[in-house]
Amino acid sequence: MISKLILVGVAVQLVCGTACPPIVTRDDWGGYDPFRDQKFNGPVELVIIQHTATPQCTRDSTCKTMIRGIEDYHVDTLFYNSIGMNFLIGGNGKAYEGAGWDQIGTHTQGYNNRSIAISFIGNYEHDDPTDAQIKIAQELIKCGVENKYLSPDYHLVGHRQLIATASPGRNLYRIIRGWNNFLPDVSSIRN
């Protein structure tokens, strides 16, 4: 009887599309209350992959400290309400909530209100992302599609394709060019 209940629970989870990777919440990493009320209207059609241009982190405590530092910089220096990215990906293979799925972030001028930014913690101009980072980022995107936060025909781009920046770094950019829904020519989505 118990095994039947477990199987039913698994089937319900798969049918409902709620199978998402664990996400470290803002509360868990000590983030500010974002004071945001700008929400997306329906599924988002653009995913922007970035890097933080900081050292990598491989331990949860180090990643949390780095994310708090990024948020402090965004709030105190750039005068954002909170951390700008929607999600950050640590070298430990964990996803960290920034603005999250339904709040508009502050990450790529001209594209914020129609995109989710996933930022890899590290500098991938010189370093390589970990396999765990790649895996969790792809799982996060799949979760977004399955739960209708992302359109099934979303476009995926590197930050450098939209604004003058090295982000997400040449090593990460080389990798994402092989991902599903990568858009090599951004002329159709440019502002």
For 149-170, the pLDDT digits (tens) are 999 999 999 999 999 999 999 9
Instruction: Please tell me the total count of domains within the chain.
Output: 1
Two tokens, residue 146: 């399955």
Whole-number Å distance between alpha carbons of 79 and 87:
19
The band of 19, judged by pLDDT with boundaries at 50, 70 and 90, is: confident
Note whether residue 6 is domain-resident. Answer: no
From the number of C-beta atoms within 10 Å of its C-beta (0-12, 13-18, 19+), residue 41 rates as exposed
Note whether residue 79 is domain-resident. Answer: yes
Domain coverage including residue 74 = 25-31+42-184
The band of 189, judged by pLDDT with boundaries at 50, 70 and 90, is: very high
pLDDT > 90: percent of the chain: 82
Note whether residue 113 is domain-resident. Answer: yes
Note whether residue 4 is domain-resident. Answer: no
Whole-number Å distance between alpha carbons of 28 and 94:
12
pLDDT in tens, 24-49: 999 999 998 766 678 998 899 999 99
pLDDT > 70: percent of the chain: 89
- Prediction pTM value: 0.89
Query: Side chain identity at 141, as an amino acid letter?
Result: I
The domain spanning residue 175 has which CATH number?
Answer: 3.40.80.10
Note whether residue 15 is domain-resident. Answer: no
pLDDT at 96 exceeding the cut of 70: yes
What pLDDT shows up at residue 36? 64
pLDDT in tens, 112-161: 999 999 999 999 999 999 999 999 999 999 999 999 999 999 999 999 99
What 8-state DSSP symbol labels residue 61?
A: H
pLDDT at 15 exceeding the cut of 80: no
Note whether residue 10 is domain-resident. Answer: no
